[in-house]
């Protein structure tokens, strides 16, 4: 008897009679219906993850959860979160376009990012967003100029860089002095004063986001301590804020990580705010990965098994263009067979067909597989499709959303004609 593996996104992904299912749909049937590579998301898992944040809202009603669109920006997913009551955290005018198209409420939109362009600031002011998270003095000046031209007052927060170690991968750490993000917390008070004196700016809050895939509470608490010290400085200057935005960053289980529940993290921050006398501030959070990461998989088919002297490769039809995280961060993603078979296990490197040595999805995995089999790469609901490219002129994968026995195509597979549609040959 082979023991069945337990998917990290169990029970939404689970084995039944040696076959992998998502909710009530057989993954093999989905592969046959929609083709591969295919991103498969579970609606029940998305709703479940939302509820981990809904608990925060139920406990502390003065909280706004702004889903970080960059994690997974499919319109169907944005629409689902909008219906559940989410706000949105954006980093581009493109993301604003998506959120409005998906039915998001602009009054619950936060606009982050280190360099907003004029057209993006205009679009956000026109839409009537809740707040810009401003990351530098020149950006503050530009936002004020655009607001003046449009005859508006721009709502702003300063994104401060608290110089705390989020203890995560250096590429996804954002709250250290040497990172490009935010304004040095030690000079922020003076910049708030400058904003206060500008009639085209309206100070709303303070923001900090220290990094991603954080699996401890301590870095959030350290950051909160520093932000609270700034709040006290501002209070002394007579500058009152209406919200504090602690960003996103909560990690998920890819392998065996112990993760922090949103409510546990928020309790610690809320206690600090309470002790410092800032209970009145609305708490804003910008979670991305923790809402969507473990709600989806990348479904792929083994094309060839290629044994070499050094390694045995399982060459699959998904590649680094579909999922760049292993290449970019050396990230671990679980790999599961769709069918459990009674054949010998072997150790494989799971690689794609792209002409790069870095084109791998997983290394040294024990699997009982053969060519033609389907595999899923786990935990790919966040920063999977949203970071996909068309490198090697590979159409981007399709995306589906499963709800019970039903599946819905939420993004069609790109066609070759679409890949070249914007190009022109010079006669
Ligand atoms: C400003 C900002 N907010 C929110 C997020 C979402 O982070 P995460 O997906 O780790 O929750 C990010 C990405 O790290 C970000 O840069
Ligand atoms: N894209 C990254 C996280 C960066 C988040 C954006 N600040 C990842 O896949 O883990």
Q: Residue 247: CB within 6 Å of ligand 1?
A: yes
Query: What's the 66 CA to ligand 1 centre distance in angstroms?
Result: 10
Report d(CA 329, CA 88) in Å as an integer: 26
Smallest CA separation from ligand 2 atom 4, residue: 172
Query: Is there a single domain that holds both residue 304 and residue 274?
Result: no
Q: Return the ligand number nearest the Cα of 288.
A: 1
Q: Which of 66, 208, 312, 355 is catalytic?
A: 355
Q: Residue 270: CB within 6 Å of ligand 1?
A: no
Query: Is there a single domain that holds both residue 265 and residue 153?
Result: yes
Query: Is there a single domain that holds both residue 252 and residue 303?
Result: no
- Residue range 376-415, pLDDT digits in tens: 999 999 999 999 999 999 999 999 999 999 999 999 999 9
Residue 172 has pLDDT above 80, yes or no: no
- Residue range 275-320, pLDDT digits in tens: 999 999 999 999 999 999 999 999 999 999 999 999 999 999 999 9
**Does 249 count as an annotated binding residue?**
yes
Please report, to the nearest 10 degrees, the dihedral formed by the alpha carbons of residues 14, 16, 17, 21 taken in order: -70
- Residue range 81-122, pLDDT digits in tens: 999 999 999 999 999 999 999 999 999 999 999 999 999 999
The CATH number of residue 203's host domain is 3.20.20.10
Q: Residue 248: CB within 6 Å of ligand 1?
A: yes
Place of tokens 């024990």: 366
Please report, to the nearest 10 degrees, the dihedral formed by the alpha carbons of residues 163, 164, 167, 170 taken in order: -10
Q: Provide the pLDDT for residue 307.
A: 97
**Does 394 count as an annotated binding residue?**
no
Query: Is there a single domain that holds both residue 306 and residue 282?
Result: no
Q: Provide the pLDDT for residue 177.
A: 75
Residue 117 lies in a domain: yes
Query: Is there a single domain that holds both residue 316 and residue 281?
Result: no
Query: What's the 251 CA to ligand 1 centre distance in angstroms?
Result: 11
Domain boundary among 232, 255, 287: 287
Averaged pLDDT score across all residues of the chain: 96
Tell me which residue range forms the domain holding 268: 112-287
> pLDDT grade, residue 3 (50/70/90)?
confident
Q: Are strands 154-161 and 183-184 parallel, antiparallel or unpaired?
A: parallel
Smallest CA separation from ligand 2 atom 8, residue: 383
Q: Residue 175: CB within 6 Å of ligand 1?
A: no
> pLDDT grade, residue 1 (50/70/90)?
low
Q: What single DSSP character describes residue 190?
A: H
Report d(CA 391, CA 384) in Å as an integer: 15
Query: What's the 135 CA to ligand 1 centre distance in angstroms?
Result: 15
Q: Say whether 259 sits in a helix, a strand or coil.
A: coil
Query: What's the 132 CA to ligand 1 centre distance in angstroms?
Result: 15
Using alpha carbons, select from 157, 241, 141, 270 the residue that is nearest to residue 207: 157
Relative to the CA of 383, which ligand 2 atom is closest?
9
Is-catalytic flag, 66? Answer: no
Q: Provide the pLDDT for residue 169.
A: 74
Report d(CA 217, CA 260) in Å as an integer: 7
Report, as an integer, the average pLDDT of 198-217: 97
Relative to the CA of 331, which ligand 2 atom is closest?
10
Q: Is the ipTM of this complex over 0.95?
A: yes
Q: Provide the pLDDT for residue 178.
A: 77
The CATH number of residue 305's host domain is 2.40.37.10
Least trusted range by pLDDT, from 32-36, 176-180, 357-361, 365-369: 176-180
Q: Is there a contact between 42 and 23 (Cβ–Cβ < 8 Å)?
A: yes
Residue 62 lies in a domain: no
- Residue range 7-34, pLDDT digits in tens: 999 999 999 999 999 999 999 999 999 9
Query: Is there a single domain that holds both residue 339 and residue 409?
Result: yes
Query: Is there a single domain that holds both residue 324 and residue 282?
Result: no
Report d(CA 278, CA 274) in Å as an integer: 6
Residue 2 lies in a domain: no
Query: Is there a single domain that holds both residue 282 and residue 197?
Result: yes
> pLDDT grade, residue 167 (50/70/90)?
confident
Query: Is there a single domain that holds both residue 144 and residue 258?
Result: yes
Report d(CA 19, CA 33) in Å as an integer: 16
**Does 356 count as an annotated binding residue?**
yes
Query: Is there a single domain that holds both residue 269 and residue 314?
Result: no
Report, as an integer, the average pLDDT of 147-164: 96
**Interior/surface letters 349-371, b for 16+ CB within 10 angstroms, e for the rest:** bbbbbbeeeebbbbeebebebee
Counted domains in the chain: 2
Q: Provide the pLDDT for residue 2.
A: 65
Residue 187 has pLDDT above 60, yes or no: yes
299's CB contacts (< 8 A; 6+ apart) are 27, 30, 31, 36, 37, 38, 39, 40, 338, 374, 375, 376
Q: How big is the chain, counted in residues?
A: 427
Residue 158 lies in a domain: yes
Residue 107 lies in a domain: no
Domain boundary among 287, 306, 330: 287
Using alpha carbons, select from 189, 200, 101, 98 the residue that is nearest to residue 145: 200
Query: Is there a single domain that holds both residue 189 and residue 336?
Result: no
Q: What single DSSP character describes residue 170?
A: G
Give ligand 2 pocket residues (Cβ under 6 A).
70, 172, 212-213, 325, 383, 387
Q: Are strands 87-90 and 109-111 parallel, antiparallel or unpaired?
A: parallel
Q: Return the ligand number nearest the Cα of 388.
A: 2
Domain boundary among 233, 265, 287: 287
According to DSSP, the residues that pair with 351 across neighbouring strands are 315, 360
Query: What's the 172 CA to ligand 2 centre distance in angstroms?
Result: 6
Q: Provide the pLDDT for residue 69.
A: 98
Q: Provide the pLDDT for residue 297.
A: 99
Provide, rounded to the nearest whole percent, the portion of the chain with pLDDT above 90: 94
Query: Is there a single domain that holds both residue 233 and residue 329?
Result: no
Question: Number of C-alpha atoms within 13 angstroms, CB side, residue 273?
Answer: 23
């Amino acid at each position: 008897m082979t023991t069945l593996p337990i998917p990290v996104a169990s029970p939404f992904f689970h084995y039944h009679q040696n076959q992998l299912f998502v909710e009530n749909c057989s993954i093999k049937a989905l592969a046959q219906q929609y083709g591969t590579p295919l991103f498969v998301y579970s609606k029940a898992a998305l709703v479940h993850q939302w509820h981990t944040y809904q608990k925060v809202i139920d406990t502390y009603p003065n909280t706004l959860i702004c889903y970080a669109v960059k994690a997974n920006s499919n319109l169907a997913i944005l629409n689902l979160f909008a219906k559940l009551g989410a706000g949105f955290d954006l980093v581009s005018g493109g993301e604003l376009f998506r959120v409005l198209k998906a039915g998001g409420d602009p009054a619950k939109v936060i606009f982050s990012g280190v360099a907003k362009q004029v057209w993006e600031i205009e679009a956000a002011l026109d839409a009537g967003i809740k707040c810009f998270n401003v990351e530098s003095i020149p950006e503050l000046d530009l936002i004020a100029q655009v607001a003046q031209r449009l005859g508006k007052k721009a709502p702003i927060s300063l994104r401060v860089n608290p110089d705390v170690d989020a203890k995560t991968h250096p590429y996804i750490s954002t709250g250290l002095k040497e990172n490009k993000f935010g304004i040095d917390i030690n000079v922020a008070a003076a910049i708030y004063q400058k904003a206060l004196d500008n009639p085209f700016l309206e100070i709303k809050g303070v923001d900090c986001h220290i990094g991603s895939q954080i699996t401890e509470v301590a870095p959030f608490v350290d950051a909160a301590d520093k932000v609270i010290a700034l709040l006290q400085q501002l209070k002394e200057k007579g500058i009152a804020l209406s919200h504090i935005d602690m960003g996103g960053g909560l990690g998920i289980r890819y392998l065996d990580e112990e993760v922090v529940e949103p409510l546990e993290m928020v309790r610690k921050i809320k206690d600090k705010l309470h002790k410092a006398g800032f209970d009145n501030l609305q708490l804003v959070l910008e979670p991305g990965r923790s809402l969507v990461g473990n709600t989806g998989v990348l479904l792929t088919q083994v094309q060839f098994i290629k044994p070499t002297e050094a390694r045995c490769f399982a060459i699959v039809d998904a590649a680094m263009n579909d999922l760049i995280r292993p290449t970019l961060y050396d990230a671990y993603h679980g790999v599961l067979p769709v069918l459990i078979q009674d054949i010998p296990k072997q150790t494989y490197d799971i690689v794609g067909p792209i002409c790069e040595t870095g084109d791998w999805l997983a290394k040294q995995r024990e699997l009982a597989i053969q060519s033609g089999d389907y595999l899923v790469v786990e935990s790919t609901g966040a920063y999977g499709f949203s970071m996909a490219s068309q490198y090697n002129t590979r159409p981007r994968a399709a995306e589906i959303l499963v709800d019970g026995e039903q599946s819905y195509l939420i993004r069609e597979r790109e066609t070759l004609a679409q890949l070249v549609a914007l190009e022109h040959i010079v006669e």
